[in-house]
Amino acid sequence: MPDEYFATVFTNMHKIFDPGDGLRFNVPPGTRPIVMHELAGTPTLERQFWGYAPPWYKRSPVSNARLDKILDNSPFWKAPTVHGRMVVPADGWFEWTGEKGDKQPWFIRPADGKPILMAAISGWREGAEVDKESGFAIVTDDSAGGMVDIHDRRPVVLTAEHAREWMDPATTVEQAKELLTVARPESAFEWYEVTRKVGNSRYQSEDSSNPE
């Protein structure tokens, strides 16, 4: 239940309780996952649009924000980093290997089985419509170690302590950027093949993240 997610500071990105839809096990960009933030001054758990496009941006919403661009003060990400820091709680995430038309999905999760907290930045504005202009992008960095064989980029995953600092309005932009550079290492994760059915976002079976 949402109140239980809030109480534990975690939720599940591929298994989300939605009063309208029930449980969801496969959540792609363009949907509305649960996020956490303190942008209104108090800890908040709510659904936000996964994808960000400011009003002047005429292309499709961007679902990921490159860490190197954030650290280099890219104009595109400057305001979201200052005013829109969020956390996307999850149990793991999906990546794909192989050629187009023959993609193999993998599920990546912490080796210790604990939930994860992914850093995100957004165009959030109090009272704004939940859409691409107020939506969020997950911060990503280069992969390393064996994970690079699955995908060359990975979400920036924070510890619980760092996630709280990341969301804290008192944390400066420079302090927030520093937190992004000390994310959990690749060695903290494990990955395995899952059913190819998750390539269809309509597939919402409980076996979505089970090993094949």
| Mean pLDDT (whole number) for 46-63 | 95
pLDDT at 13 over 80: no
Residue 22 pLDDT class (50, 70, 90 cuts): low
Give the CATH superfamily of 2-209: SOS response associated peptidase-like (3.90.1680.10)
Residue 2 confidence (pLDDT):
43
Per domain, the residue ranges of the chain are 2-209
pLDDT at 20 over 80: no
Tell me the average pLDDT of the chain.
Answer: 88
Of 17-31, 80-94, 100-114, the one with minimum mean pLDDT is 17-31
pLDDT at 4 over 70: no
Go through 37-50 and write b for each residue having 16 or more CB atoms within 10 A of its CB, e for each that does not: bbbeeeeebeebbb
Backbone φ and ψ for 190, nearest 5 degrees, come out as: -135, 160
The CA-to-CA distance between both ends of the chain, in Å, stands at 28
Residue 186 confidence (pLDDT):
87
Separation of CA 106 from chain center:
16
CB contact set of 20 (below 8 Å; sequence gap of 6+): none
Taking the C-alpha atoms of residue 176 and residue 19, their distance in angstroms, rounded to an integer, is 33
| Mean pLDDT (whole number) for 176-186 | 92
Taking the whole predicted model, whether its pTM rises above 0.85 is answered as yes
Reduce the secondary structure of the chain to three states and give it as a string: CHHHHHHHCCCCCCCEEECCCEEECCCCCCCCCEEEECCCCCCEEEECCECECCCCCCCCCECEEEHHHHHCCCHHHHHHHHHCEEEEEECCEEEEECCCCCCEEEEEEECCCCCEEEEEEECCCCCCCCCCCCCEEEEEEECCHHHHHCCCEEECEECHHHHHHHHCCCCCHHHHHHHHCCCCCHHHEEEEECCHHHHCCCCCCHHHHCCC
pLDDT at 38 over 50: yes
Highest mean pLDDT among 141-150, 172-181, 185-194, 195-204: 172-181
Taking the C-alpha atoms of residue 108 and residue 148, their distance in angstroms, rounded to an integer, is 12
Amino acid at 101: G
Backbone φ and ψ for 167, nearest 5 degrees, come out as: -80, -20
Taking the C-alpha atoms of residue 201 and residue 110, their distance in angstroms, rounded to an integer, is 23
Which of the pair, 202 or 16, is modelled with greater confidence?
Answer: 202
Which of the pair, 96 or 20, is modelled with greater confidence?
Answer: 96
Q: Which two tokens stand for residue 77?
A: 């990400």
| Mean pLDDT (whole number) for 8-32 | 61
